[in-house]
Amino acid sequence: TLLNPDLLDSAIRETEHLKKSFAKLELGKYPIQRLKGIGQKYFVSYKERHSFSRAVEFCSQQGLDLALPQNEEENIALTQFFGDVNKEAWINADMNNRPLTFTKWGEGQPDKSIEATGCTMLSENGVWRVTHEFLVPYRRGLGPHVNNVCEF
């Protein structure tokens, strides 16, 4: 059976994209804490906990995006990413005004009163909620720190 040339070209492009993505991870100045592949996506954590705005900036500096689950499998994987402790993580819901193809909003969410200025957090039970950064509990006086997970 002959290989479809279009399929082969697509596989080569995907392999090159993955090589470049992994090279970025290896060259980064932050040690990778966790890396998990789900389908065609990878979630990566660098042992960093940030405010929402810093999490977005941090992922961007690594050439990555803040994580956004696109289906239930990814949502569960992200919820389980850190094991039994500190499961909350910032997620990239609607930051680029793109339509969400999957959501897991908690009851009463998204909170319309703060939706425009709020940040979206994945809670430890896997539901999403909009909150202000300053409403997140402060950790040792350093500001509101929640798990930072990037994706590629």
Residue 11 has pLDDT above 50, yes or no: yes
Residue 112 has pLDDT above 80, yes or no: no
Domains within the chain, CATH numbers bracketed: 31-151 (3.10.100.10)
What are the residues whose beta carbons fall under 8 Å from the beta carbon of 73, sequence distance 6 or more? 38, 39
Cα separation of 51 and 8, whole Å?
Answer: 42
The mean pLDDT value of the chain amounts to 79
Which residue would you say has higher pLDDT here, 82 or 30? 82
Residue 70 has pLDDT above 50, yes or no: yes
Q: Which residues are 149's β-sheet partners?
A: 45
State the pTM of this model.
Answer: 0.74
- Structure token digits, residue 109: 């969410």
Q: Give residue 43's pLDDT.
A: 92
pLDDT band at 95 (very low <50, low <70, confident <90, very high): low
Alpha helices, DSSP H, located in 2-149? 5-27, 52-61, 72-80
